[in-house]
Chain A
Amino acid sequence: MMKLVVGTEAMFFISLIMAFVYMAYNSGFEPYQVKALDIKTTGIFTLFLFASSFTFWRAEKNYRKGKINNLKTWLIATIILGSIFLFGQGKEYWRLVQDNITLNGSVFGTSFYTLTGFHGFHVFVGLIILLIILIMSFLGDFDKENSTVVSTVGIYWHFVDVVWVFVFTVVYVLPKFTNT
């Protein structure tokens, strides 16, 4: 089921990414605004998000082996890494707003904030879900039963990461190779 949810979410992001690309070509972005993006800082925060996928994978592995304490540790690590990513995104938003790049200021602002904002929202939702299963694990819900909850949440969390690969490529990396 979660795979189907992820499938429909993927279509949603494809629409958003297509809108971003369409705006870039059709209306054109102001070059100085695209250059205002800080690929290095965001790149570092991106690594935190990818690392969270790794920690979640470890969490799931340990859960399969029945090591509930390790599950808790890796889950906490995942939540911290995800939060750091969100913090980085917030920091970047703050800086861009200071530079007067806003949602209603330009086509670039509109496309950028919508695409990254929807992704950030998905990360945020993911963090809430992770928090829920962390609490469940402390309450002992995973002690006995062989539940599929952890792997289901895993599908979602990895999906959020994969989306960021595409978003980061389109928004941050590709403009470095074009003339705009």
Chain B
Amino acid sequence: MNESIEIPEPTTHFPGIGVSTDQGLLQWISSVDHKMIGIMYLLMASLFFLLGGVEALLMRIQLAIPDNHFLGPETYNQFFTMHGTTMVFLVGMPAVLGFSVYFSPLMIGANEMAFPRMNSFSLWISFFGGCLLYFSFLAGGAPDVGWFNYAPLSEKNFSISQGIDYYSLGLLLSGIGSVSTAINLIVTIINYRIASLALNRLPLFVWMVFVNSFLIIAAFPSLNAALAMLLLDRQFHAHFFNTMNGGSALLWQHLFWIFGHPEVYILILPSFGILSEVFQVYSRKPIFGYAFVAASSVAIALLAFGVWAHHMFAVGMGNTVNAFFSAGSMLIGIPTGVKIFNWLATMYGGKIQFTNSMLFAIAFLFEFTIGGLTGIAFSIVPIDWQLTDTYFVVAHLHYVLIGGTFFGLFAGLFYWFPKMTGRKLDEKSGRWFFWLFVIGFNATFFVQHILGIIGMPRRVYTYPNLPWYGILNMVSTAGAFMMGASVLLLFYMILKGVRRGKEVGSDPWDAFTLEWYTQSPPPLKNFDDVPAINSPLPLWQLKYGSNSKNNEDEKGQ
């Protein structure tokens, strides 16, 4: 499909983030505009973020003191399952896709996604998938066997309530949405960028989205196949994972993690992209080593499919298999490390502006590196045997998912909020949010490293009063409530920012990429004309000419 079609664009004013349009709410619900869909993705992520956060806080209350009976074991199991599933599929994915569909077309000078109606379909099917998953609470019990849903625990004879059926159907639906969005993004980036922009000159955020979309379409099918098999097992008594009748529990683990490990890179790559933009703008310097940042994402994407079994070292696959996946997992540390050094070098010698966005980006470097180091530790098989299924794992995954993905998303939120609404988030209360969140986050999860090492297993609803268990868990709970308070502050800031934030022009950060070329918020038709430039930093060239530092740096590469 290569012929270009003129997309009819309404000339009415883009409603920003309010519902005060001539059609009210209907304009939002029926919208096929990529910016409105992007915002709705972010709203969906926020809604489920609150739900998942409340589940987390309830769990932390239960764990605050030894031998607590605030939640029963059944409820606790449902909460940790729903917390994990929600945060990965209904918060992480829509947040990542929301930024992707909002900003990818803008950054490549396109007026719309390639398939606007499919874009809308993807959003709504993901949303209803999430609703279906949450409906399980009303339908006799939420899924309760963990977010990775290991067979045969998830089989009918061990999990009688219909929670797992809702899990399978909900994730199938939202998975279809993610795959179709990924296809949409790839076609958009290939066919709809301005004619003069070469693929190897894409802004880095778009590069990451591009690579990420390929990861999505390659990884999700294996989850969908596994979910289909599980549904066949549960509804029609097939034998895939039914170990008593010749089925295999390991098959589920393989299929799930062939999806599941790329999935964590799917969640982190767009954050890498956001950070690559943020570091440049607030250091007032072009990225150090554009080609390395871009190519290392491709390396991550390829290696992502060679590491899944490191989640399964404890199941006894034999030394050869373990050694292979151990080496693969260590290898993937290299391209990730390359990126960290690129960002450090971007900051080096730059005129750094410590905005909230930049603070989150810098904090990311610390937190994500801690998460990365514990990840490398886990790739060493004996360490994994010792620590698997302890709180050390919980600490590790939260350091990479919060300290990685969410810090990147927060950096993106502060950076792009003026573009999305025309107003700034309050920097001063933003400081409060930043420090509360970072301190709360470290208090919650750093102590869990220690808890894991002294042997506290994960996914157990209560624990006896062993030395240190009580005090460390109490610290963790206190930290969690600090994070909870800071998130409330964030939502208050966003509401206030949308209504009464300081109005800023189209380009408050003096940024480098095309989305800042149009007004804020962009009109429904993004651009009337776009300068014909071939550069990852087109606005930089436009504003400062081509004799700037940009050229020196490119020679340096």
Contact = CB atoms under 8 A, between A and B. Distances in A.
A178 interface: no
Contact of A15 (B115, B187, B225): B225
B217 A4 contact: yes
State which size class the interface on B falls in.
35 or more
Contact of A103 (B179, B186, B236): B236
B475 interface: no
Given A8-B220, A103-B232, A103-B236, A15 B248 contact: no
B255 A15 contact: yes
A172 to B, nearest CB: 21
B488 interface: no
Interface stretch (B143-151, B239-247, B493-501): B239-247
A83 to B, nearest CB: 25
Given A16-B225, A19-B251, A106 B186 contact: no
Contacts of B182: 4
A89 interface: no
Interface string B174-212: 000001001100110000000000000000000000000
A155 to B, nearest CB: 11
A5 B183 CA distance: 7
B218 A15 contact: no
A11 B217 contact: yes
Contact of A8 (B187, B221, B229, B248): B221
Nearest to A111: B240
Contacts of A103: 232, 236-238
A12 B217 contact: no
A84 interface: no
A161 B114 CA distance: 28
Interface stretch (A20-28, A44-52, A92-100, A124-132): A20-28
A15 to B, nearest CB: 4
Contacts of B237: 103-104
Contact of B248 (A1, A9, A23, A106): A23
Interface in B7-59: none
A152 B238 contact: no
A7 B226 contact: no
Interface in B100-123: 114-115
B236 A106 contact: no
B187 A4 contact: yes
B238 A110 contact: yes
A114 B3 CA distance: 39
A76 interface: no
B322 interface: no
B238 A22 contact: no
Interface of B: 1-3, 114-115, 179, 182-183, 186-187, 217-222, 224-226, 228-229, 232, 236-240, 245-248, 250-251, 254-255, 258
Interface of A: 1-2, 4-5, 7-9, 11-12, 14-16, 18-19, 22-23, 26-28, 103-104, 106-107, 109-111, 113-114, 118, 148, 152
In the A-B complex, list the 5 residue pairs whose CB atoms are closest, starting with the nearest. Answer: A15-B225, A12-B221, A104-B237, A11-B221, A27-B246
